[in-house]
Amino acid sequence: MHRPLKLKIFMETSASAIEDNINAWLAAQESITIIKTETVVTGLAEKSSGNPWIVVTVWYEPPPSDQERPGFRLT
């Protein structure tokens, strides 16, 4: 049975800052499966920095629960 996908969005004006945020998030995760990523560079009117914003969207599956793992048995 398929589990619903989860979504994580990162948004920064600096490529190195967004890379650091994504790497920190990945390091904090257990065993996720990344299904898709999308990167967009855009300007946002409500943000007044004048720099373009980098937005990275990650669709992922969280690790399965113990009951979904192969060989799981209730005792």
pLDDT in tens, 2-61: 678 999 999 999 999 999 999 999 999 988 999 999 999 987 656 556 788 999 999 999
Produce one character per residue of 32-47: b if its CB has 16 or more CB atoms within 10 Å, e if not.
eeeeeeeeeeeeeeee
CA separation for the pair 35, 4 (Å, rounded): 11
Q: Which residues lie below 8 Å from residue 9, measured CB to CB, with a gap of 6+?
A: 55, 56, 57, 58
Question: Which helix (H) or strand (E) element contains residue 53?
Answer: strand 53-61
Give the pLDDT band of residue 1 (cuts 50, 70, 90).
low
Output Rg (C-alpha) for the chain, integer angstroms. Answer: 17
Domain borders along the chain are 6-63
pLDDT at 75: 58
pLDDT at 33: 92
Residues facing residue 45 across a β-bridge: none
